[in-house]
Structure 1
Amino acid sequence: MKKSDWVNKKVLVLGTAKSGIAAAKYLVEAGADVTVNDGGTPSGTDQDTLLKLGVKTTFGEHPLTLLEGVELIVKNPGIPYQIPLLQEALVRQIPIWTEVELGYHATNAQWVAITGSNGKTTTTTLVHELLKQQTRPVHLAGNIGFPAIEIAKEAEDDAIIVIELSSFQLMGMHAFKPMSAAFLNLSAAHLDYHGDLESYAEAKARIFRNMDANDRLVVNADDDVVMRLSDQAKAERLRFSRKSPAYARVEQDMIIIGETPILPAAELALGGGHNLENVLAALTLVEPFNIPLQAVQDVLRTFGGVAHRTEYIGEFKGRKVYNDSKATNNVATEAALSGFKDPIIWLCGGLERGADLTPLVESMTQVKHVVGLGETGPRFAELARQEKIDATVVSDMAQAVQAAFDVSQAGDIILLSPASASWDQYKTYEERGEHFVRAVESIGGDAK
């Protein structure tokens, strides 16, 4: 749609925050008749912005009268479709978009999109770093960048927009069509929003709904649900796997995309088996853009990941240190542990939720010593001892890091991957990860 197509169209923006404010600004600039509705009370800053925009506003409720004459709803992704206002909008066949769809209609740029239950942020960030090595303009949008409409309305016609997409955002897609997209994996999540796993999976699959044979869809060969759903895709489907033959694969430690060897997996700055999968997906996504191999290798050797997600901190006293504070459950930690071939000093533990820890055993083959902290620290230590692995129990992060250096030697991995929430000692997993990094720098000195 051209910007002029919005003149005098009556649009309801549902929800404020970043995406709602960005959508309202664009639509006002385009000449639409905009009303903004929020079921709560927006921040003072947002209210001031809306006042200056001159839009109509309704806060604290979602009256059905707001739908009179409305031609489009642009909603915040987190607002469930079950609220009466949206249920009535569906009955009246009023289109419901998220602001990503609005952004898609606002630009001629090409889109590279990533979805999945895990690994989206790391893969999206890596794709952005790789695409910065070629000559076309490239922008990062979505949850880890700026709202899509903010980027799209300013993007050059030959630009590439890289975006991470949640299931919430994808449910509001209608015409959105990326030229390259990845469906990384699927596990049970957000079922309170979607109702069941099948509905959640179908929402994720919307990423490739409008793609055609000229587009590239990158999928996880080892995820049965992803493979089943993507059978219906019209795009060229390329598989990645770190376990079995695929278009993007690892052979004798060498990362290979198609027929092109990229570099040994051991040279990646990223750690964790799931991150190897993220690398394979990212490299397949960017392959059509003809980035020089040397530039690709340089990025892979230096990109340490996203903060608190198996993030490479550096080498201290000969030990490679990784911060995976965001691993608050077994699944995330299993993926981190399985990605290393060198001996691991594993720092773990946190809030006690009564989780069964035994599924972790299979991924502990490289663990040399367990350092347990927090409420669940003693349980992790007991698990280690049952597997004939040495263990130490400490009371806080500084003691945990000191113990990790004491029991390790040059060539070992020091990995914080708690498999537990942080709330016994910290407000957030970010706070926990930042404390870990400070302790490493205090005890380990300067990174190599």
Structure 2
Amino acid sequence: MEYKNKKVLVIGMAKSGISSAVLLCKLGADVTIYDVKRRSDFPAELFAELDQYQYHDMLGSDPTEQVADMDVLVLSPGVPLGLPFIRRAYELNKKVIAEIELGFDVSKADFIAITGTNGKTTTTALTGEIFKNAGIHTHVLGNIGVPITQEALITQPGDVVVAETAALQLDTIETYCPKESAILNITEDHLDRYGTMENYIAAKAKIFKNQNAEDFCVLNYDNEIVRELEGAINAQVFWFSTDRILENGAYVRDGSICFSVDGMEKMIMPAKDLHIPGKHNLENALAATALACLYGIPTEVVADTLRTFPGVEHRIEFVRKVNGVSFINDSKGTNPDATIHAIHAMTEPTVLILGGYDKKNDFVPLFMEFTPMIKAVLVLGDTAQKIIDAARACGYENYIKANGFEDAVLKAYSIAEPGDNVLLSPACASWDMFENFEERGRVFKEIVKGL
């Protein structure tokens, strides 16, 4: 789409909204920015780059009347589609797109898009590292922390964008079409926004909706919900699995990670040499292997990267050992399934910190997955009572309610003995206490470093 002289309303002034507005200004659009917050509610430095351009400021105002004059609305991730002025835009047949669609529209790179309830960030970072190690000019963008719109203009033909792509970013796509897509898993999450699992699954499935027979879609064979999506996909489907040998995809045979096309198998490396721990990270590695091999990256580059990739911040991240107690930051554990993966990765007695913003998840399945390694639980946040009720329903009584975040960390430390872990994996979003899970993880590490 040509954006020059188009009137564009950018909604939501976090990273992606600012980045979208800057990009549109560079493209010559007539830009208006909107957020429910007033300008005084934001740090002044947030607007430093944008203020180099001319734009209209509707922060803290009601843009409903202005919508009729707009050509395009660009939504930041998480903006509710039910807002009155957005409904009005749809009624007027205005173009309403996501930030990722704007970035995709402007970019010249091939897109590798990765979604899933859990594992997106690790798999995106790992896949990006493989592509970089193969000598490809690679941009690791999206929900991982750098908006696609931020680097869209600097991409060149032959570049690759590896994009972590959340359901909230896929809601309003129209033409977004990655050369390769991957769905790592789908489990219960974001029901506060989508209401039903069916709606949530439909949002995730948009990642492949524009793909065709020349594209690839990588799916988790071991996740039933994901497996059942195959019939709706026009792209070539490849799989990954930790439990079965596949004719087309990545899997483990006799302890080795392998990749196969039409039954022609290549051995990549021994699975035990994978640097990042846990079965869930083996799944992430298999997905990254499939994406890389399908793009034609040599298997030795894939293997070397899998052996050395250290993982990413806030994902089962070792912080420090204090008097024999190991502190582990898994702040990205924002839903029960993510925390289940973290629990299963623990090989020593563990005190678990749970709780946060309520996304309407059920915590009973989490307690059903507890291993003997979980010796105690600290509970906090908006979901504290809901978690306690789930614990009681499962017969788990060794929980303590904390009076705030720091109190939870200190109480967990007081319970832990030398050789134990203290694991922050809240199974909840952070928004009741923090701006995001990254801030929660940083605060956890600051508290631990101060012990």
TM bucket (normalised to shorter chain) is 0.7 to 0.9
CA 1:63/1:325 → structure 2, altered by over 3 Å: closer, same or farther?
A: closer
Aligned partner of residue 257 in structure 1, secondary structure: strand
Answer whether contact 2:68 2:89 (CA < 8 A) is retained. no
Deviation string 1:7-27 (CA, Å, 9 cap, x unpaired) is: 222211122222122212222
CA-CA distance at 1:188 after TM superposition: 2.1
Counterparts of 1:189 and 1:75, CA distance in 2: 21
CA 1:356/1:122 → structure 2, altered by over 3 Å: closer, same or farther?
A: closer
Aligned residue number for residue 305 of structure 1: 311
1:409-448 maps to which residues of 2 (within 5 A)? 416=423, 418=425, 429-431=440-442, 434=445, 438=449
Aligned partner of residue 140 in structure 1, secondary structure: strand
CA 1:398/1:314 → structure 2, altered by over 3 Å: closer, same or farther?
A: closer
Amino acid at match of 2:22: K
Deviation string 1:4-55 (CA, Å, 9 cap, x unpaired) is: x322222111222221222122222222222222222142334555544211
**Aligned partner (choices 322, 328, 337) of residue 331 of structure 1:** 337
The alignment status of 1:26 with 2:23, answered yes or no, reads yes
CA-CA distance at 1:72 after TM superposition: 1.0
Counterparts of 1:308 and 1:121, CA distance in 2: 10
The alignment status of 1:39 with 2:50, answered yes or no, reads no
CA-CA distance at 1:348 after TM superposition: 2.1
Counterparts of 1:144 and 1:154, CA distance in 2: 19
Aligned residue number for residue 88 of structure 1: 88
Aligned residue number for residue 403 of structure 2: none
CA-CA distance at 1:297 after TM superposition: 2.4
Deviation string 1:269-301 (CA, Å, 9 cap, x unpaired) is: 211222111111111111133334333223222
CA 1:28/1:332 → structure 2, altered by over 3 Å: closer, same or farther?
A: closer
Aligned residue number for residue 225 of structure 1: 225
CA 1:173/1:398 → structure 2, altered by over 3 Å: closer, same or farther?
A: same
Answer whether contact 1:323 1:436 (CA < 8 A) is retained. no
Aligned residue number for residue 344 of structure 1: 348
Aligned partner of residue 441 in structure 2, secondary structure: helix
Aligned residue number for residue 378 of structure 2: 374
CA-CA distance at 1:320 after TM superposition: 10
Counterparts of 1:236 and 1:323, CA distance in 2: 37
5+ residue gaps, structure 1 = 386-393, 408-413, 443-448
Aligned partner of residue 263 in structure 1, secondary structure: strand
1:91-240 maps to which residues of 2 (within 5 A)? 91-240=91-240
Deviation string 1:44-84 (CA, Å, 9 cap, x unpaired) is: 33455554421112121333221233211112122111011
Aligned partner of residue 81 in structure 1, secondary structure: coil
The alignment status of 1:8 with 2:15, answered yes or no, reads no
Amino acid at match of 2:117: S
Answer whether contact 1:254 1:264 (CA < 8 A) is retained. yes
Amino acid at match of 1:434: K
Deviation string 1:186-242 (CA, Å, 9 cap, x unpaired) is: 122222222322122111111001111111100111222222233211111111111
Amino acid at match of 2:423: L
Answer whether contact 2:324 2:418 (CA < 8 A) is retained. no
CA-CA distance at 1:323 after TM superposition: 4.5
Aligned partner of residue 279 in structure 1, secondary structure: helix
Aligned partner of residue 349 in structure 2, secondary structure: strand
Counterparts of 2:93 and 2:286, CA distance in 1: 41
Counterparts of 2:325 and 2:255, CA distance in 1: 21
Segment of structure 1 superposing worse, 193-202 or 371-380: 371-380
CA-CA distance at 1:356 after TM superposition: 6.3
Answer whether contact 1:205 1:230 (CA < 8 A) is retained. no
CA 1:272/1:384 → structure 2, altered by over 3 Å: closer, same or farther?
A: farther
CA-CA distance at 1:94 after TM superposition: 0.6
CA 1:415/1:134 → structure 2, altered by over 3 Å: closer, same or farther?
A: farther
Aligned residue number for residue 391 of structure 1: none
Amino acid at match of 1:302: T
CA 1:39/1:383 → structure 2, altered by over 3 Å: closer, same or farther?
A: closer
1:278-289 maps to which residues of 2 (within 5 A)? 278-289=284-295
The size of the alignment, in residue pairs, is 414
Counterparts of 2:156 and 2:266, CA distance in 1: 31
5+ residue gaps, structure 2 = 381-386, 399-408
- TM-score (normalised: structure 1): 0.80
CA-CA distance at 1:418 after TM superposition: 4.8
Deviation string 1:388-428 (CA, Å, 9 cap, x unpaired) is: xxxxxx96454566x242x7xxxxxx6736566699xx976
CA-CA distance at 1:177 after TM superposition: 0.8
Answer whether contact 2:124 2:162 (CA < 8 A) is retained. yes
Aligned partner of residue 232 in structure 2, secondary structure: coil
CA 1:47/1:292 → structure 2, altered by over 3 Å: closer, same or farther?
A: closer
CA-CA distance at 1:90 after TM superposition: 0.6
Answer whether contact 1:269 1:312 (CA < 8 A) is retained. no
Aligned residue number for residue 402 of structure 2: none
Counterparts of 2:368 and 2:335, CA distance in 1: 14
Amino acid at match of 1:86: I
Answer whether contact 2:330 2:423 (CA < 8 A) is retained. yes
The alignment status of 1:255 with 2:262, answered yes or no, reads no
CA 1:16/1:182 → structure 2, altered by over 3 Å: closer, same or farther?
A: same
Name the larger-Rg structure.
1
CA-CA distance at 1:330 after TM superposition: 4.6
CA 1:261/1:145 → structure 2, altered by over 3 Å: closer, same or farther?
A: same
